Amino acid sequence: MDASQTTAYQSSETPRDIIETLDAALSCSREAIELTVTTLCAGGNLLLEDVPGVGKTTLARALGRCVDGDVRRIQFTPDMMPSDLTGVSIFDQRTQRFEFHSGPLFANIIIADEINRANPRTQSAMLEAMAEHQVSVDGVTHALPEPYLVLATQNPIELEGTYPLPEAQLDRFMACTSLGYPSREAERSMLLADHAGDPLSDIRPVCSPRDVSAMRERARGVYAGDDVADYIVAIVRATRGHERIRFGASPRAGLNLLAMARARALIRRRDYVTPDDVKSLVAPVLAHRLVMKSSFGAGTSVASTAARETLDAIVDRIPAPRADHA
């Protein structure tokens, strides 16, 4: 097997290996784990929104261990400044020049804890990093490492001292999900486990950043037919002008939905996208981007129940194309 064949094999099996490793170590649902890895594979950013203490940060840390790259955790606070994330230029008396000292955003995986506690100025710095994979300091642009992933958490019930994420930043998250409470058996196993050391100490690296880049390249090559594209366009356009929705999904949302569907197909060892790939990802990809009218259940959660129920109704109403890849 030559080098190119080895890379193709690794990029095909890597996401499943990561899923199995996380599923064996964590108490959260496999569905949440698969969505996390699908987002990684699709090249996007993920927002985990849930009540405190259900394992959002643990999932983020575990993913960082699986990918043997540079991982940084940032605890966001209201007094944090953009330079605390991006870094600063410091004048060097010896060289008589300004030297740039990079901040914690310079890593492959960024664990952004309680991102909605950051003030608007700091969130604008995060937006550039998430959108362009670069930061600007003193008029100079600095590229961030590749591959790059922001895995952010926020607690919707903790409203004091938080700043709601602007719609433009929410649109930069490819997907959003909630972990929910663990099952009875998972919670019992967690209580009986030996917590003398780090609960993630048994997780070993599954792949390298180079493997993640190869995995993403392979996902981009998964075939999506005209019928799938038309299906995605119909769903996205149906959110605009809907009686319950003030602002519908953006064109970027459609691109993200297709990227996630391609990644899902790759994880299932297929080289083509099916309508089921799209349908299963509509809520995680679109719900947090919708701005609901207050009279139809807009809530404190960015991916409110009303938004998900409305999307379910839209998907039920739009006929899916016939999957025929025999």
Give residue-wise pLDDT tens across range 22-67: 988 888 889 999 999 999 999 999 998 876 766 778 888 889 889 8
Predicted pLDDT of residue 268 = 94
**Stretch 217-245: mean pLDDT, rounded?**
95
User: How far is Cα 260 from Cα 268, in angstroms, rounded to an integer?
Assistant: 12
Tokens coding 152: 């952010």
Correct CATH for 223-326 of 1.10.10.410, 3.20.20.140, 1.10.10.10, 1.10.8.80: 1.10.8.80
Is 0.85 surpassed by the pTM of this model? yes
| DSSP H stretches of helix in the chain | 3-25, 30-42, 56-66, 82-86, 120-132, 167-170, 184-192, 209-220, 226-238, 251-267, 275-286, 305-317
Domain boundaries along the sequence of the chain:
223-326
Comparing 121-135, 224-238, 272-286, which segment has the lowest mean pLDDT?
121-135
**Stretch 260-288: mean pLDDT, rounded?**
96
Predicted pLDDT of residue 7 = 45
DSSP conformation letters of 171-185 = TT-SEEE---PPPHH
Nearest-CA neighbor of 178 among 260, 287, 324, 104?
A: 287
* Single-letter residue type at 309: E
Q: Which DSSP letter does residue 108 get?
A: S
Q: 108-139 in b/e burial notation, b at 16+ Cβ within 10 A?
A: bbbbbbbbbbbeeebbebbbbbbeebebebee
